[in-house]
Structure formats: structure tokens, C-alpha cells
Structure 1
């Protein structure tokens, strides 16, 4: 069955193939691409348990990217998941205490975004050839810390592409910032903004749908796309690791085929946990998706009250990739909650833009049973890191700690004894100061590479190559702008006439 894509907001019957949707990124009406019909899967998990990550990824991606030939998909997958990962399992599942940890930080930038952003450039360049694209693709991306580096690592020096990344100047860790501003590649551009991630993301979405800017781009042989999880080429590769994790639990003898499990996911922009929702729709035996938030707990309130309200204080926390109040991918879930009604979805998104909030109907609220939501304070986050380290000699980063602490909340609240998989999204070396502070219980007066060295002395875990390489890396990007002038910055970078 061919999987075609439509907008969450458009009432017309206009559809696109998967390769066309990958190239475009965002729909012209400001909505997001979703499958016209969810693909049907008939997974044999006992068979999947014998497969490599690459083989499982193919079984998943062939359902969503149906206009790619098997040879094209295999080529994309093989190029994406190879020696750039430091574990041949790509996404190993390990047990520490009661929960299992799905480690998604073994890629070149030590964050979960690598699992999608190593393959997106290959999906995009293949799509460009399939659709006889002659324009140069400009990847426009906002990042809360991890997407930017992972996207640039994937797209660096990829022919017929440029990538422009905007990040909040004071809203990422020292290591995240150093990774971005030292990024090599003649086609990579990194710009700090005097603002937060929500402001960067809002402006990026606005620019992606600016008709005048699009016309100017076209006149100069450019076209926009995105590497954020609004792009299906970024979102659906993430489905694979949920399916793979379940199969690995069978392989390890931890569960039997058909046993239900839960996943606790540190959640900001809602893409990672949405991938888990799609995995469940494909037949993966997932009981609950635990939506774990930090103090920016807009999603916790959404699931617990039915109202999404971004009109609240914004906090900078030690889990910066979750410091988000406008969760873009939630629109896809809302679309399904409306019964796939684009008019109702567009109205709710319009309300969010104009008033900062919207409320689900009682019928829609009843349909969010796949999710359970909670949040933790900074202190609870730190205690989770300390507890896991002291009890199990395992070091987790602040985002994984949020998911761990909220998983404990879920178990205590529900008494659910099903196996819990914590989605571990980053290496502790990406946030060394916060991890050191948590483990020692004392203030830490160093950051960046100095904190990395202190953390290494304490936990004795090898420092990832991407962090070691920062010692010799030179700063290549030092541009700063305001959210209001991001469009002008893009025009200057591209030398638009």
C-alpha cells in the first residue's frame, strides 16, 4: 500500500508522496504532514529480535517511505547507521535497577537526534534526485541544543544543500554550544539568537511559510526545508528504535512476544514521544507512553487538564533540550484527536497563536489514554541522577533523569508493574556540570571541557570522541541576531539578490 501525505490543516484532497514531503518539510498552509492513512504493519517480533538495527529500521521505514525503492532505502539506512556509532547495536537496551535504558547517545553527536539526523540527509538527497530538483535545498532549523549539532553533522558538505541553525544564546549547555560553534562544513551556518527556543522555532516556522521569501529563494535557485521533527524524514526514523527496543527485550529474554511494556520519554517538542505513539499504532505492544517534563510543564498540564496554555513563565533548566513551551509536533496528535479533522485542527492552532491556549473537547480528552504525564523540579532531577549513580553505578544525563523520575511517579501512582523502558536521550558528557553537581551534591565552579575532565575522573567512563575533538576545534561561527531579524540574517547568508 502506498503511503501518501496530507496537511493537518488543509481540507482539500491535495496529497504528496513521501519524498516530496521530505523535501518540503512543512506544508504550505503552516500545518504538518501526516499519512493520509496510517500504514499497516504485520510485525513478527520474534523474527525482529534476530535482526540488526539496520534491518529493523528497513522494516519500519518501508511502511512510511513507499516511493523510495528498496535499494534506495537500504542505501540510506546503511549510510546512516555505520561506523559513526560507537556501539554496533546502534541503540542498545540495558537494565539498571528496575527499568531498562534505551541508549540513544552512541552516534556522532552523543544525542538521540543522531538516530534521525544521520539518515535525513540521505533521504533528502535521494528525494531531490527522484523529483528532479534543480534548486539548492536550504535546511532551516531551530534548536534547543541537540538538533542543531546533529543536523549539521548529518548535512555538512552534503552536495546541493545548505543548513542554517538558530539556537538560544543563553539556553544551551556549554558543550552543546561548543559543538555547534566549532562545526565544520562549507555549507553550515550557526547563529545565536537573543531569545529562547520558542522564539526561534516560531520565527523559523513563519519564515518557512513566508511567500515573499519563498519567491526570492526560488529566483536564486534555493528552496527551504527543515531538519526539525516537523519533517517526516526526521520523525519516522525515530519510530524504528521503539520497535527495535521491544524486539531487543525479547532477544534478551526479558519479555515474551506480546507482553506489554511502557516507555518514559523526556519530552519537549513532542517528536520523540510521538514516534512512540506511531510505533504503538503499528502494533508494538506499548501500554503507556509516559510524557516526562521539567519545570516547563506545559505538556503535563495538557494531558492532565485538556488545556494547552503556553502563557506561563519560561524556565532555563539543566535539561535545556526540554525548555520548550510550544511543542510543535503535538499538532499531529491533536489532528488524530479531532478525528483527522483539518478544520478543527486549524482552529485550535489558530487559537494557540492568537491567545496562547486552547482546550480539547471531552471527546478528544477521552482519546489521550495512550499517554500519562508528569514533571519534576530541578531538585528531583538532580536526585534521580545521584540515585541511579550510587545505586547502580550508572550515569545518566539530566534529560534521562527527568524520564527516570517521572517513570517512578507513574509506577507509584498507577502500581503498574509492566517493564519500563527509559528513553535515554544524551550522554552525561553533554551536560557535565549538571551531572557532576548531582552526583557530588556540591556546587561545581567549572563547565565545558574542565567539567568533562572532572566528570571523567569521577565516573571513569570513556569520554566520547566528539567531546575529545572539541579540545582542538576552532570557533567557526560567532554570529548573533534577534528573532525579529532572523529573516534578514538568512538573506545575508544566502546572498539573496
Structure 2
């Protein structure tokens, strides 16, 4: 299996090299040269454990890894760091199904890939005989940062630098990052939003002179964002696992189509669902749920992607994004893998702030539906689900839940649908408590956590509870145009 660029430079690399590179030389994203088809093999996969299923799927893409190498990474990733044996349980709440992706060490869906990807990278460095140190450069809207820091901490020959928007993450997300231990971990807040951070990081990857300077000082840049194919591929696994869990619980039969509704900002999570469909998973619709930053809703509705709008800071901050990087991989597929066309669209986005796909390309979007939720919707959704079903969801999951209600009303589609639940409600405790009309604005973050636990009779995750006594270790801050200077200071180059 080889990986190629979305921008058509015709260079082919093996999986371990794609993981090390992060981005392609031409600024594009790595995609597999083809999608393995599991349609006729689903029966053999139904009763596998999460680890076994992960191996069966990843071996198809990362075939330059031996069975022993791949299983070693998988066994180390999915151990007692997760608080349930299924790793990603799908629970039935009323007539709805929620795929819970927040049972890992940082209580967010990013853990599923970011407990595994660092181990894959470590193996890739050994396999490719890389003598320089790898510097993981990551922009985060809240969850990727902590999950990446946790996954990469104290690994040999790897440093990780995470940039986050100072005013664009929740208090708990910020604390999770600023208290991160690890002799190779660095955290920097920027005076700007996530798009500023992401654009600056991408520009750093594409700056040939800067990369030359780093290489002269024995450093190579790589990424832990879902622009890295090593981050994206492990996310494919849980869509298959959720489908098989519905079969095992006799909720559906093998071959029945299901929908997934995914709260989406940078587009990686729902793209993994699309990849699972390309591999033969019986998927009907992929419902892309946006918050008030509904640039993706507009794209799926009109075919025009336009970032020329105000960024809203919402109660679902991990989705406060106007430039959805992984959409480029979808553009590659729906344009029939036309790298030249992708280049045109991305250049238009970079120069004009928008692009528009033609009718033929738009016709290839039939798998997708866009919906979005207002702040009022999100609050009402949390309240409704808890009061009706005694089930607590976070703000991002509420974006998905309330978007699904709108989809149902508009379509009457009775296909079994899985709502992808991406974070613990305790990561956004203040807004969840507000949604339940239980908040007292005089309370600090940790009193809010305790009150939410008491009011809902649910447990505060241990990793979040420990933040109350954790020492703040990172206080770096920089302007959005000073990221390269900050990297040089950290690496002492």
C-alpha cells in the first residue's frame, strides 16, 4: 500500500514514511492509493475485539509494518488507559444510539487515535533509520492538544509543541494542556483563533528555508493533527466496531445500512466515517453537524466553501473552525482524484477565501447531508436528553443530537442512526450545567465540576478531577505571526 498527495505530484510513499512526513512536499495531504474493500469479509470481523479489529483494518494500509510491530503498538495503545473494555461502546438511549468516544485518558475522541499514532511514529522512525529528532507541531482547538501531549510525552527522539488559541478553549481544556508533564512537551497559547494557529502551523511546514534550518540542527517536522494519515486511519476502526456492536446486540442485521451523525470542525472524524464507507461498511448517510460556524453546512447545501465570515466563539469550542483541513481529502475523492482540480480549489481558498465546486463534483456528495445547531439548540438538547433519558451529553454531542432531530424532521429517514459522542460532559462542565439551569456564576471551575456530579449523579473522570491539584508547567504565549520564532526559542536553534 502506498500513499499519494491530494495535489497530484505523483510521488508515492509507504505508510511509515507518510506518518513521519505528516504533510506532502507539495503541501497536500497523504491519501491511500486505493481503498481496500471489506464488503465480502464483514462476517469474519463481527466478533473481533477492538484490538483485533484495529489490526485487521490497519494492516491493510500499513503493510510495511510487520504483524508483531503493529500488534505491539495496538496492545500498548488500548490498555487500561481506557476506562471500559470495549474502548468505544455504543449505547442505546431511548430510540437513539450514542457512540461514546471519550473513555480514554483525556476524555475526548482524539484519544482513540492519539494513544496509537505516537507508537506508530516511534516504530516508523526506527524502520526508516531516521537519525534526526522529530518535532511534532500541532495546532489545537482544544482536544487534539492534550491527547497528543499525553500520547507523545517522554518518547525518545520526539519533541511535541502544541499551539492553542488563548481564548478559544474551555477552562478544563486549557488546564489539561498547561499542566502537562513530560520532558519533551511544550505548550504555547497564541493571541488569535484556531484558524490562525492552524494556518501558521501549515505555513511553517511549507517554509522550505525554515525546514532547512531545522534539518541543519538535526530536527524534522511532523504533525499530530488529523492532516497526518497516521492520525486519521485509526479513526476508521471505530465506525466498523460500532456497526458490529449493533449487530451483536441484535439492533440491526448484517448488510443493513446505518447513518452516522458527526459533530464536525476540521472534518477528520467524519472523513474517517467516509473512508469506512469506501471500504465497504454499509453506510447510508453521513450527516455533518456544525455549530454556528456553519461553513460546512453551507458547503454541503450549496457547493460553495466560503471562510469569509465572522468566527463565532461557541460552547462547542473544538468546532469553532472556518478552515476544515481534511475537506481537501474529500475534494480529492469527489473530483475523481483530480489533483490539479484540488490545487485550483485550495489556491482559490488561499487567495480569495472561498471556492465553489461544479455540478459534476457536487453530484458525488450524495453520501453527505449538512445540518447545524444554534447555541439555543445546544442548550436545549443537553437539557432534553438528561431530563428525558437521564443521560448526560456534552456540548459537541448536543450539536450532533439536535442536528439529527432537524434531519429527522426534514427527511423522515427511519434508518438506524449512530450519534457520535466526542467528549465527556465534564470537559465543558460550566456550559453543561448552564444547560441544565443549575449553574451559579459565582462558582469556580472545580466547584462547577462537583455540582454537576451531584446534580446529575454522575462521576467526574479521574483525569479531570486530578487537575485541581496539578501544577501549571506551561505559560508560554506568542502572537499568531511569531510561531516560528517561538519554535526556534524552544528548540534553541
1:350 and 2:325 correspond:
no
1:481 and 2:478 correspond:
yes
Q: Deviations over 1:291-346 (max 9, x none)?
A: 00000000000000000000001100000000000000000000111111111100
SS in 2 for 1:60: helix
What's the counterpart of residue 127 of structure 1?
Answer: 124
What's the counterpart of residue 151 of structure 2?
Answer: 154
1:472 and 2:469 correspond:
yes
SS in 1 for 2:36: coil
Q: 1:195 aligns with which of 188, 192, 196?
A: 192
1:367 and 2:364 correspond:
yes
SS in 2 for 1:159: coil
Structure-2 separation of matches of 1:476 and 1:69 = 38
Partners of 1:268 and 1:327 within 8 A in 2:
yes
Matches within 5 A, 1:138-153: 138-153=135-150
Matches within 5 A, 1:399-418: 399-418=396-415
SS in 1 for 2:286: strand
Structure-1 separation of matches of 2:463 and 2:455 = 20
1:260 positional shift? 0.7
Partners of 1:306 and 1:365 within 8 A in 2:
yes
Question: Alpha carbons of 1:403 and 1:484: their partners in 2 closer, same or farther (altered >3 Å)?
Answer: same
SS in 2 for 1:367: helix
Per mean C-alpha deviation after superposition, the further-off stretch among 462-471 and 484-493 is 462-471
Q: 1:24 aligns with which of 18, 21, 26?
A: 21
5+ residue gaps, structure 2, are none
Matches within 5 A, 1:421-432: 421-432=418-429
What's the counterpart of residue 3 of structure 2?
Answer: 5
Q: Deviations over 1:162-184 (max 9, x none)?
A: 00000000000000000000000
1:43 positional shift? 5.5
What's the counterpart of residue 175 of structure 2?
Answer: 178
Q: Deviations over 1:369-393 (max 9, x none)?
A: 1111111110100000000000000
1:300 and 2:297 correspond:
yes
What's the counterpart of residue 109 of structure 2?
Answer: 112
Structure-1 separation of matches of 2:35 and 2:49 = 25
1:215 and 2:212 correspond:
yes
Q: 1:457 aligns with which of 454, 459, 465?
A: 454
Structure-2 separation of matches of 1:395 and 1:376 = 18
Matches within 5 A, 1:43-442: 44-440=41-437
SS in 1 for 2:8: coil
Partners of 1:433 and 1:446 within 8 A in 2:
no
Structure-2 separation of matches of 1:388 and 1:432 = 16
Structure-1 separation of matches of 2:175 and 2:40 = 42
1:48 positional shift? 2.4
Per mean C-alpha deviation after superposition, the further-off stretch among 433-442 and 150-159 is 433-442
SS in 1 for 2:383: helix
Structure-2 separation of matches of 1:338 and 1:287 = 21
Q: Deviations over 1:259-300 (max 9, x none)?
A: 111011000000000000000111111100100000000000
Partners of 2:296 and 2:370 within 8 A in 1:
yes
Structure-2 separation of matches of 1:302 and 1:83 = 40
SS in 2 for 1:440: coil
Structure-1 separation of matches of 2:328 and 2:36 = 19
Normalising by structure 2, we get a TM-score of 0.99
Structure-2 separation of matches of 1:45 and 1:254 = 16
What's the counterpart of residue 37 of structure 1?
Answer: 34
1:46 positional shift? 3.9
1:49 positional shift? 2.7
Q: CA RMSD in A?
A: 1.0
Structure-2 separation of matches of 1:106 and 1:447 = 25
1:444 positional shift? 3.7
Partners of 2:8 and 2:338 within 8 A in 1:
no
SS in 2 for 1:30: coil
Structure-2 separation of matches of 1:397 and 1:137 = 35
Structure-1 separation of matches of 2:92 and 2:308 = 39
Structure-2 separation of matches of 1:168 and 1:443 = 26
Partners of 2:439 and 2:448 within 8 A in 1:
no
